[in-house]
Amino acid sequence: MFREEVEAFMRQFQSDLCQALERCDGGATFSTDTWEHAEEGGGISRVIQGGNVLEKGGVNFSAVKGQLSPQFLKMLEMPDANYFATGVSVVLHPHSPMVPITHMNVRYFEGGNGQAWFGGGIDLTPIYVDLAQAQAFHEQMKAVCDRHHPSYYAEFKKWADDYFYNQHRDETRGVGGIFFDRLMATDEISIAERFAFVRDVAYAFAPFYTSIMNQNRDLPYGEREKQWQLMRRGRYVEFNLVYDRGTKFGLLTKGRIESILMSLPSLASWEYNFIPEPGSPEEKTQHYLKKEIDWLRVQ
């Protein structure tokens, strides 16, 4: 019954989030695309394009069963190939370079041997880092974490720093956030308590991000800012195709390719050996793309 309860939550969260984003954007609605998995189960891909704020965004739900490939079985260190997985994954690419890209996901995995865990997180990728907004974002993430365990924020913030990191560029994808995986039941924390935390993470997303959308949607920008946005989107693409676990999981479990690659922007660019001008807003943003920044006290 727990599996069914988690799946029902994921379905409802997808619907609630899409409604909140549509209300904020005010110019477009999500299309709905239902698909079936190659083995068992399937999902609902919901995509918004050409909105007032959102150029492209996706809110994907899936609930699938099957057998893990030997490669993925080894990666997860699982003794049994049978699995069930459900979750919601979100990536939003705004028109304006003044509105950050954002990603979040919440997911549940159950192995054939009875092991079960939650994973997920939220991170923010500003094209231009706004220190006040980055600090407010981390304060919100800490508040969610602190309601459930005093160690969560520090642990999951570091995990995000390490995970959302383009090693080949020696830079973080953005200002981080929180990331967690394989949150199982322990002697101290039940799987139901883990689920309560994941629900809070999920429903913290829309209020904060729609607030940023509204704060930044009318800020002026020009061609210089758009070109920088395209380059930063290129770095986003690099991470998603090289390091992202969700992308790897989808590909190795024969997921639907259009849903897996929903996270990619409509347009991105790669300029050879681009170096920001000294003292420019672009250089300032580049300066903050590193690990271990204390965003709660950033100057």
Catalytic residues: 103
Q: How far apart are CA 94 and CA 104, in angstroms?
A: 15
Asked if 115 and 85 count as a contact pair (C-beta separation under 8 A), the reply is no
The structure tokens listed for 174 are 């953005």
The structure tokens listed for 145 are 């974490």
Q: How far apart are CA 280 and CA 257, in angstroms?
A: 39
The span from the first CA to the last CA of the chain, in angstroms, equals 48
Asked if 117 and 87 count as a contact pair (C-beta separation under 8 A), the reply is no
**What's the gap between Cα 297 and its chain centre?**
24
Q: How far apart are CA 83 and CA 85, in angstroms?
A: 7
Asked if 199 and 119 count as a contact pair (C-beta separation under 8 A), the reply is no
Q: How far apart are CA 137 and CA 102, in angstroms?
A: 11
Nearest alpha-carbon partner for 106 in 123, 118, 117: 118
Phi and psi torsions of 95, nearest 5°: -65, -50
